[in-house]
Structure 1
Amino acid sequence: MSYNEAEQQVLEIVKKHTDASQIIIFAPSLPWEASMFQRPQQLARFLAKQGALVFYLQPLRSWPPVFDEVEDGLIVCQAPSDTFHVVPNAFIYALTWNIPLLAYFPSQRVIYDYLDEISVFHGEQVRLQRDHGDYLIKADLVLTTSQNLYNQAVNLRKDCVLCQNGADVDHFSKAIHPSSLPDDLRPIVEKGKPIIGYHGAMARWFDYDLLRELAQKREDLEFVLIGVDHDQSLQESQILEAKNIHWLGAKPYQELPDYLAYFNAGIIPFEVNQITNATSPIKLFEYMAAGKPVIASPMQETVRYGEFVLIASTVDEWSKQIDAALSYRLDEKKQAVLKEAASINSWAARASLILEKLAIIGASPRKLPWYWRLQSGEGRLQRLLRLIGRGIKVWRMVGWRGFVKGFFYKFADQINTLRRIPFFKRPRALEETYLLEDNSQVTLYTDDDLLFGEYWPRRVLLGQRDQPEVKISLIATVYNEEGNAVEWADAILSQSLLPHEIIIVDAGSTDRTLELLKERTRDSQIHVELITERKLILRLEEIWQLKRPAMRLLLYPTLAAVRIRIGLKIFRPHSGLTRIQKWFAVGTLPWINKERSFLIKAGRSFQK
């Protein structure tokens, strides 16, 4: 399948759903069939149910692309992001950690979902904070999942929307009338004791100490935990040594109601801290939908629902609240209140709120703040305006103290940057002929212009077109490398980027190194010169000194000097042997081991 065919398939799907109120593309984040069915998947489902056409991009790609309509209006796809350039007016749903992926979408209409404290996410925190602040300003619609996050975001974005998590009421209400008893739960149920259950991630914010003490105090109860051991904190806690604490592992989302059906109460025993105070626990609403009374730690989002949630801090309070929850089973009014609360906080209600806000945005597009609109363009004035705009953003987000702190760190970073600036520039022809490899991603090289669409981000390899060729002389110093000589020579002569001459300086090897090199390079089309300098080598690094006599023999102006097993240095002999620093990217591999010469690295880091 070609790109044009994939794009045509997207257009056919759009044409099929002409009555869709909005087109929303979920940038790759969580796998659709993940062990935990979370907010992005739930919002995708219910936005589609509410009349939007939703494309949910999987983080893993495939070729040819896959478009699977799992529900009416919900397309789960594995396809390149830029396939969707044919729907330029779609809204792109993004989370804090996948904001960089927005660069691959042609649409600039963004829904930014601020769903957790930034420190929870993996990645470079400075980048995450910067992207977060930028898209609080730039996004067409900003969603926040808790009152705490809303209070933070509203300083920078007055029209941000409080849109907490919710529950699939129809799905979890199945727990009210159970159909089957799971096999791994059966032995626990057969004990005849009340079951106090939890489902969700087992992570560092779970209060393991509280649960351990509670289980010791209440041996008349069975505690069941369902979910992944997210960060191995469960195993480290050793709470599973308690006889009445049972961990059943992660369960498929479709099976959760079968387990919740046998819970007498649902619990959320979290530590109360900055992270949990910013959390909107999905399980809170799922317990309600299942008709289960809820006992929770006093986090901001659980306290807000105090009418429906039993709040407890100490072990004694938890014990009393569990007794109160167990009495709710016989109270029909309490059951009715829980069902009503679940309906109000359903994913359907959340999706309706989002579509309502998108309809308003479509009728009246949002304007960026004045200090952000001044940032476009180049030149010194624009750079100054950009700096002022970012300063205002930081001040509005974190106040004067945070602004001064950020200014200090930025100043320190600039000083460190100046320290890293090379004193000598790399040859211009060299810079324009070779393309540095970005080690953070896969780089594809091709001379087939038809392989990718015109809109695909690319950099032209100028060396293949109209730039002058850089002629390179390679000097290699060697001493007693019989075991490596053949492999080294084969590697050098098989690279896509070859030197124009090779001068090998032998330090008087006492083994077969020179003989093997002569034999291996005899039929080479490259000019190869072998020099023997019989000197006493006192230290390993003195081998580098042997390159000096080879300098007089150079035919070409740019020199790459290597010693087998050590690495690379580059010189320009016509500039008084001036060292050119950082000529190519070796940040992650500053030294090249064994038989890896400059040309081996160049073959990976550059394409001619």
Structure 2
Amino acid sequence: MDHTVSNPLLVPLDNPLLICFSHLRWDFVFQRPQHLMTRAAADYTVVFFEEPVFETVPSPLLRRKTVAPGLEVTTPILPHLVSGIEVDRAIAILLENLVAGIEHDHLVTWYYTPMALKFTTALHEDVCVYDCMDELSAFKNAPPELTRLEEQLFSKADVVFTGGMSLYESKRTRHHSVYAFPSSIDTAHFHQARRPQADPADQQTIAHPRVGFFGVIDERFDIDLMARTVAAMPTVQFVTIGPVVKIDPATLPAGPNIHWLGAKRYAELPRYMAGWDVGWMPFALNDATRYISPTKTPEFLAGGLPVVSTAIVDVVQTYGRRGLVEIADTGSMPAALSTALCKGCSETARVDAFLSEMSWDSTWSAMQDLLKSAKVLRLPKFSRMVDHV
């Protein structure tokens, strides 16, 4: 299917501003918002607007830092005693002053969370984007008003993007202009893992063979599956990288062949992956994972690793059916990992051919075409899909 939108009415913009409202902090884990906003900064002045932080300050203020050319991260800092509706009003005032202070002739608002609608009603954007990367209402501790606010965001948005094909199928009837942009890949970055190199210091003493995972460890990570698998494979070392959130670290499995190395920078990941023998994705099959499209799937493959995953729908349909990722359930996981360890990455040519059709650069380019079209037309469009798989 088409990856771009052709429109003879597209016109260049002299001074466009894009404000991205995110529930994920810039420095948390480098993923979809960071990939896209970094590329957007070549076309826009980009402000990545985070959720507030409460500190001992006399009055609300904005903490601003430049993280890349044309891209700044802005965080509202609020006094501890501010609460409830006062929070939203304080953020709204800070945001209005911020926008007024940035010279621009065109404003794009880009939402990752519908919750931002609580403080953005005074903005007059030229284009509104809802980039729905996850089904947030299914996550642990989701705000009760999230579903209602998402319905408002569907009414407000000019265009809706989804982070995977399952999300596309779920959302496509709720808006007139929905496009699927599944997780993509910075191939050159993860190709670094294919080169022989020294282990990072905290991985040097871990024996082989190694099965590795990186990502957020939360309710989507199947702790019970990991415990059973590592117990069944005592000679295999399991290396896990990433922050632990929304679950008690004390509940994580422990043992001589389990290694929790904590969060690492995006730039460090290929070096750790270079020392792994298999990448695995032990996701739980629950409401929080029903619509995910894990970015680590193409990242593991680009790093030259054989990959074993639980039956996440988007992973099965995009990678499993093509034989690029082995799909296993609780009972078959040890056998699937053992096979992958023996087989190694034997599908490199097919993997590379498949990944050559994917990139964050091409994803942003297609999104940018849609933004320009929405700016000029601002007319209802037929729902369609941009298929990168």
Could you state the TM-score of these two structures normalised by the residue count of structure 2?
0.79
Name 1:81's counterpart in structure 2: 95
Residue in structure 2 matched with residue 57 of structure 1 by the alignment: 49
Pairing partner for 1:201 from 213, 216, 224: 216
1:38 counterpart (19, 31, 35) = 31
Q: Letter of the 2:68 partner, please give it.
A: E
After superposition, residues 334-353 of structure 1 pair within 5 angstroms as 334-353=347-366
Conserved? CA contact 1:293–1:309, under 8 Å:
yes
Is the 1:138–1:368 contact (alpha carbons within 8 Å) kept by the matching residues of 2? no
Q: Which amino acid aligns with 2:338?
A: D
Could you tell which deviates more after superposition, 257-266 or 205-214? 205-214
1:320/1:64 CA distance change after superposition, 3 Å: closer
CA gap 1:233/1:337 in 2 versus in 1, 3 angstroms: farther
Change (3 A) 1:72 1:359: same
Distance of 1:346 and 1:110 partners within structure 2: 24
- Show CA shifts across 1:59-80 (max 9, x none): 4588686462x33433334583
Q: Gapped runs of 5+ residues in structure 2? A: 1-11, 54-59, 77-93, 383-389
Residue identity opposite 1:71 in structure 2: A
Identity %: 26
- Change beyond 3 A, Cα 1:368–1:134: farther
Q: Higher helix share goes to which structure? A: 1
Tell me the distance in 2 between the aligned counterparts of 1:359 and 1:318: 46
Counterpart residue number, 1:162: 180
1:291 and 2:304 are equivalent in the alignment: yes
Distance 1:21 1:219 in 2: 59
CA distance in 1, matches of 2:141, 2:188: 33
Contact 2:163/2:293, CA 8 A, preserved across alignment: yes
Deviating 4+ runs (over 6 angstroms): 18-21
Residues 57-100 of structure 1: CA deviation (Å, up to 9, x unaligned): 344588686462x3343333458322214536311111233232
The answer (yes or no) to whether the contact 2:64–2:75 under 8 Å persists in 1 is yes
Aligned with residue 324 of structure 1, among 334, 339, 344: 339
* CA positional deviation for 1:55: 2.5
Which residue in 2 is equivalent to 1:313?
329
CA distance in 2, matches of 1:29, 1:20: 29
Structure 2 counterpart of 1:87, which letter? H
1:113 to 117, 126, 131: 131
How far the C-alpha of 1:174 sits from its partner, in A, is 1.6
Alpha-carbon distance, 1:173 to partner: 1.8
What code does the residue aligned with 1:166 have?
Answer: S
* Higher CA-based Rg: 1
Report the 3-state secondary structure (helix = DSSP H, G, I; strand = E; otherwise coil) of the residue aligned with 2:185: coil
CA contact (8 A) 2:140 2:219 kept: no
1:274 maps to which residue? Answer: 287
Deviation of 1:338 (Å): 2.4
Match of 2:374 in 1: 361
Distance 1:156 1:275 in 2: 20
Going from structure 1 to structure 2, the CA distance change for 1:31 and 1:178 (only over 3 Å counts) comes to farther
**Distance in 1 separating the partners of 2:128 and 2:185:** 24
Cα distance in 2 for residues equivalent to 1:273 and 1:321? 21
CA contact (8 A) 2:127 2:374 kept: no
- Tell me: CA distance 1:216–1:154, structure 2 relative to 1, closer, same or farther (3 Å): same
Name the SS of the counterpart of 1:214 in structure 2.
Answer: helix
Contact 1:202–1:234 (CA under 8 A) maintained in structure 2:
no
- State whether residues 57 and 77 of structure 1, in contact with CA within 8 Å, keep that contact through their aligned partners in structure 2: yes
Distance 1:324 1:158 in 2: 46
Aligned to 1:213, which of 210, 223, 228? 228
1:100 aligns with 2:93: no
Change (3 A) 1:367 1:258: same
Q: Does 1:131 align with 2:138?
A: no
Of structures 1 and 2, the one with the larger relative CO (CA 8 A, separation 6+) is 2
**CA 1:368–1:347: 2 relative to 1, 3 Å:** closer
TM-score normalised by L of structure 1: 0.52
